[in-house]
Amino acid sequence: MLDKEKKLTVGEVAKKLNVTVRTIQYYDQIGLVTPTEFTEGGRRLYSVRDYVKLHQILSLKEFGFSLKEIKEQLMPAGTVEEMNKYLIKQEALIEEEIKRNQVTYELLHKFRKEMNQLGKVDWEVFLEIIHLLRNQDEHYWIVKYLDKDLYEKIKERTVKEEGQHYIKRMKALCDQAKALQDQGILPDSEEGMAIAKQWWDEIMGFTKGDMKMIQQLTELTEKSREEKPTEFLQVFRSVEKYISKALAAYFEENAIELKEEK
């Protein structure tokens, strides 16, 4: 406990409150806490009441209040109701800040993971990943698996409205395949191969028959097992084997041979 009659120098106050002398002097300059007395030499002397007031200011600053808010609103507040009003408002602001920080943390965490998996510094790729993460694009992870030319082709075709329709049609085919699978209808059945034909037609339309793109997309499907699946991939995984068998039967019946592009 401090002696109520004792006067403290600015250095003593600063040490007890664990702040700099400059901080205490600044509070005096802006009229927050003016020392009770000055020595003949002009040194500031603070009373216990001054010390308590400074402690109060520093405590409120820890809650995130600005010095202006402390001076104009909180210090003059004379009732619990008044204080409560300001504290509720500050709680809401801090809650919003926590939410923003959580979003930033998740973006940073995902980006760091992508960077480490890429294994090299490539800011062109980094910036694209960050852009996709900021836009909450669940396909952000594919950037590191594709060469830049192919990625640009895929990006160009998926950002357009037709690209979104393509994903919806492929998901609808997955749902149809799931229905056949649940009914015990074989992949090489007429119904199974009808889905395979539509699937292949969609892929050929999306890639414009570019076999290198088809090959890399197939490889991407394998690599995606290490990533958090998108909504479409979650559906596709449940019927992947069924569709693969249906495609194999369709290719065999129609003498379609896939040549590997180098």
* CATH number for 16: 1.10.1660.10
Which bin fits 22, alpha (ψ -120 to 50), beta or left (φ > 0)? alpha
How many distinct helices (H) and strands (E) make up the chain? Answer: 11, 3
Q: Which of 93, 108, 143 is the last residue of a domain?
A: 143
Same domain, 64 and 86: no
Domain count, the chain: 3
The verdict on 96 and 176 lying in the same domain is no
Boundary residue ending a domain (56, 74, 92): 74
Q: Are residues 169 and 224 in the same domain?
A: yes
Greatest Cα pair distance, the chain, in angstroms, is 106
Torsion angle defined by CA atoms of residues 105, 110, 116 and 119, in that order, rounded to the nearest 10 degrees: -130
Give the number of residues written for the chain. 262
Q: Token pair of 19, please? A: 């702040």
**Residue whose structure tokens are 């009659």:** 5
Are residues 50 and 106 both part of a single domain?
no
Same domain flag for 69 and 153: no
Based on the fold, state whether residues 168 and 237 are members of the same structural domain: yes
Note down the domain range covering 41.
8-74
Same domain, 159 and 231: yes
Residue 261 inside a domain? The answer is no
Do the domain assignments include residue 259?
no
Judge whether 237 lies within some domain: yes
Instruction: Report the alpha-carbon distance of residue 39 to residue 8 in Å, rounded.
Output: 11
Same domain? For 180 and 247 the reply is yes
Quote the crossing angle between the two packed helices 231-253 and 190-207, to the nearest 10°: 110
57 and 131, same structural domain? no
pTM of the model: 0.62
Same domain, 99 and 167: no
For residues 111 and 180, membership in a common domain is answered with no
DSSP H or E segment with residue 226: none
The residue among 74, 91, 113 that closes a domain is 74
Per-residue pLDDT of the chain (262 residues; tens, 9 = 90+): 555 678 899 999 999 999 999 999 999 999 999 898 888 788 889 999 899 999 999 999 999 999 999 999 988 888 999 999 999 999 999 999 999 999 999 989 989 988 998 888 888 888 888 888 888 887 788 888 887 887 887 777 776 667 778 888 999 999 999 999 999 999 999 999 999 999 999 999 988 888 888 888 888 888 777 777 778 888 898 999 999 999 999 999 998 887 665 5
User: Are 246 and 185 within 8 A, CB to CB?
Assistant: no
